Structure formats: C-alpha cells, structure tokens
Amino acid sequence: MKKYIAGAVILGFAGLVSLAFAEDTTNRQDVNNKPMVSRTPRPEATLSVEAKACMQNAVDKRDSAIILAVDTFSSSIKSALSTRKDAFKAAWGQSNKVDIRLGLRTAWDAYSKSAKEARRALNAARKAAWTQYRTDARACKPSVEDKSNEGADTQL
C-alpha cells in the first residue's frame, strides 16, 4: 500500500513540475528575442485537366510496371521452389550419405542463386518503374515557357 501512495505522490509531483516548466506558446520568440512571425499558408495550387490526366497516366504506368514485376518475381520463386523440391526428392533417393548431402547442398545452392536473382530483378524493375514515374511526373508540370504565354493576346 505504501508503494502505491509513494508512486502516486511522485507522479503528482512530476505533473506539477511539468506544468511549471511548460512553454508559453502564446507569445513565442526566437533565439534572438525577436517575435516569431507565423507563416501564411500557400495559396492552393490548381491543376489543369491535362496535368491531372497526365499524372493519372503516370501513376497507372508505374503501378502496372510494379504489378508485372511482382508477378514475374512470384513465378520465378515458384519455379525455384519446384526445382528445389524435385532436387531434394532426387537427393533423398540416393543410397549413401555423401551423395545425399551433396545433392541437398547443390539443391540449396541452386535455389539460393535463383531466389537472389529473382529479388534483384524485382528490385531493378521497381526502381526503373519509379524512375520512369518521376520523369513522367516532371513532364506533367507546366514549364516556365507555358506560363509566360498564358493570357497573351495572340491577335495583332
């Protein structure tokens, strides 16, 4: 019982101390005692219909490439597992221990190599998809030249 009372007293004291040292955020100042200026939010950018459609196409292209990469990875791993299973069965069909161990080791090595290659291919495809997406996304933004001609009177 004394432990609980002592714990409650300590927690209460810690709460009071934290309130005493709490920072007053109503009149904040920076390190040089200058009042901090609150920033006004940026005006909301409006995107054109073409820019939105361009971004939708970029997202679709990126995600389709990633889905294809994952499907390829999945089929590669399934194939590697199937090959490993057959190699294990063949290894366990051997008559002596040395041949069994050699067969199991060879099966594991081949599986590890195949799985590593599949992971490398997946990572490379994902990286390429994201790189292409960034390129496509940059192309969707209007250039400086496009903005300078907006609202210009084309008739002379």
Paired strand residues for 17: none
Residue 24 domain-assigned? no
Residue ranges making up the domain that contains 97: 49-139
For the chain, percent of residues with pLDDT exceeding 90 = 56
Query: Does 86 fall in a domain?
Result: yes
Note the pLDDT tens digit of each residue in 55-69.
Answer: 999 999 999 999 999
pLDDT at 125 over 90: yes
Task: Please state, in angstroms and rounded to a whole number, the distance separating the CA atoms of residues 74 and 126.
Answer: 14
Residue 91 covered by a domain: yes
Question: What total of structural domains would you count in the chain?
Answer: 1
In a domain, 59, yes or no: yes
- Do residues 83 and 114 touch, judged by C-beta distance below 8 A? yes
Is 1 among the domain residues? Answer: no
Using CA atoms, how far apart are residues 147 and 38, in angstroms rounded to an integer?
30
Do residues 70 and 122 touch, judged by C-beta distance below 8 A?
Answer: yes
For residue range 68-94, what is the model confidence (pLDDT) as tens digits?
A: 999 999 999 999 999 999 999 999 999
Q: For residue 66, what are the contacts with CB-CB under 8 A and spacing of at least 6? A: 125, 126, 129
What's residue 49's pLDDT?
A: 87
pTM of this prediction? 0.59
The answer to whether residue 17 sits within a structural domain is no
Residue 23 maps to a domain:
no
Top-confidence residue, 128 or 26: 128
In a 10 Å sphere around its CB, with 0-12 CB exposed, 13-18 middle and 19+ buried, how is residue 136 labelled? Answer: middle
Comparing 25-29, 47-51, 113-117, the range with the smallest average pLDDT is 25-29
At 134 the pLDDT is 95
Residue 153 maps to a domain: no
